[in-house]
Amino acid sequence: MLAEFVMNVIGGLKIGAIYSLAALGIVVIYKATRIVNFAHGAFVLAGAYATYGVVEALGAGYWPAYVLVPLATGLLAAVVEFAILRPIRRADIFALITSTIFIGIGLSEFYRLIQNTEMLGVPNPVSGRPIFLGDVIITKEQIWVFAGALLSALIGVVIFGYAPLGRGLRAVAANPRGAVLCGYSIDSMNAMAWFLGGALAGLAGVFAAPSQGVSPELAISMITAGFVAAVIGGFDSLRGALFGGFILGVAQTLAAAYISSAMANAVSFLLLFAVLMWRPEGLFPEAKIRDV
């Protein structure tokens, strides 16, 4: 019983790590540009598809994918920002959010048109005997996803939170005019934020591809999970997004194991609803600063 429970938690942490990556990208883009990117699920899909391309179609293996895929999805996101969102940056929030919804659907549709199969499979990057710890069985794939996604997420946190680039991003977000006076360019900072967010989405795609497969469903499930994880974390907090992803992943896996598989989605909706209703600032809010 206990072993089963522990294995479920480990499975949940694996999924949760992917959710964390997806949520992190959403939060990075939101923090820097105040746009909630509903196209993020499609970016993850693009990442998973690119992984398929590198690993399966080119047969190049996984190592190039870790570098090429985030570059590609980062560029895709930056192009979306540059070509579509920048011209309407002065529009109201309604127009911006609706745009990202339809950009996401459009990308998924585009994928469906060029790749008319049901679902593309991507092989596991690691294989071999699982690890036994008493009754607990841990697969190498779980370790790979958990460690890899967590590492990627931490790199993202470090870049945004501590590197000079991150300082510029946060400055532009906090006070655009002030940041411009200090020599930052809003345009390039916005593009960088989208690149960073897109790259994180791409990495989420790399780690999601083997276990979830590549299909338009992936886009929907990833935007939902990423959004819910971001809300749990407070939407404004990188740390919160990380924890939110893990909480969501574990909760979903436990619900699926102990209640019914249909409950996995219901749990994420319940979590979203509960957090929005009772703690809209999230479980891990950043320090509050009053808007003057």
Partner 1 sequence: MSDERLRALWQVLLPGSSLFAVAIVGLLLGSYWQYVIAIALGAAVVGGALAMLVGYARCITLATGAMLAIGAYGAALPVVHLGAPFLAALIFATILGALAGLTLAIPGVRFRSHNLAMVTFVFQAVVIIVLRESKALTGGAEGIHVPPPVIFGFSFSSDAHFLLLCGILFALAMLPIAILLAGPFGKNLRAIAANENAARAFGIDVRRYLIAAFTWSSAVIAFAGAVDAPRFRIIDPDSYGLITSIFTLTYPIIGGMGSIWGGLIGGGILRLFPELLRPLADYIELVLCVLVVATLTFFPDGLASAVLMLRRRGPHKPLAEGAARRDSRITKAAPLSSATLQPNEAANRAGENPVLAIERVSRSYGALRAVDGVSLAVERGALHGLMGPNGAGKTTLFNLVSGFASPESGRVMLGGTLLDDIPIERRITLGITRTFQHAAVFQRLSCLDNVVIGLGRNTVTDGTRRSLAAALDADSSRAEREAGYAALEAVGLAQRAPDAAGALSLGDQRRLEIARAIVSRPRIVLLDEPVSGVSAEEANRLHALLLSINRELGIAMLVIEHNIGFLVSLCQSISVMSEGKIIAEGVGPAMVDDPRVRRVYFGEHETTG
Angle 216-233/186-212 helices, nearest 10 degrees? 120
Among 231, 232, 242, 251, binds partner 1 (CB under 8 A): 231
Encoding tokens for residue 86?
């920048």
Residue type at 266? A
Closest contact distance (angstroms) between CB of 93 and partner 1 is: 5
Interaction between residue 98 and partner 1 (CB under 8 A): yes
**With binding defined as CB under 8 A, does residue 87 bind partner 1?**
yes
Q: Is 227 in the site for partner 1 (CB under 8 A)?
A: yes
User: What's the min distance (Å) between Cβ of 99 and partner 1?
Assistant: 5
The contact mask relative to partner 1 for 108-147 (x = CB under 8 A, - = no) is -xx--x----------------------------------
Q: Shortest gap between Cβ of 113 and partner 1 (angstroms)?
A: 6
**Amino acid sitting at position 14:** K
Question: Rounded to an integer, what distance in angstroms lies between the CA atom of residue 68 and that of residue 199?
Answer: 10
Helices (H) and strands (E) in the chain, counts: 11, 2
Asked if 171 contacts 116 with a C-beta cutoff of 8 angstroms, the reply is no
Strand partners, 132: 137
Q: Is 97 in the site for partner 1 (CB under 8 A)?
A: yes
Distance of CA 143 to the CA centre of its chain: 19
CA dihedral 150, 254, 278, 229 (to 10 degrees): 30
Structure tokens at 210: 């083997």
Q: In the complex, what is the shortest distance from the CB of residue 269 to partner 1, in angstroms, rounded to a whole number?
A: 5
**Should residue 91 be labelled a site residue for partner 1 when binding is judged by CB under 8 A?**
yes
* Least distance from partner 1 to the Cβ atom of residue 111, Å: 10
Q: Is 209 in the site for partner 1 (CB under 8 A)?
A: no
Residue 106 contacts partner 1 per CB under 8 A:
yes
Closest CA to 160 of 57, 29, 281, 3: 29
Instruction: Say if residues 116 and 232 touch (Cβ distance below 8 Å).
Output: no
| Residue 278 in contact with partner 1, rule: CB under 8 A | no
Alpha carbons within 13 angstroms on the beta-carbon side of residue 230 total 23
Size of the site for partner 1 (CB under 8 A): 35
Binders of partner 1 among residues 19 to 58 (CB under 8 A) are 36, 38
Q: Which stretch binds partner 1 (CB under 8 A): 49-57, 58-66, 99-107, 149-157?
A: 99-107
Residues of this chain that bind partner 1 (CB under 8 A): 36, 38, 84, 87-88, 91-95, 97-99, 101-103, 105-106, 109-110, 113, 220, 224, 227, 231, 262, 265-266, 269, 272-273, 276-277, 280, 290
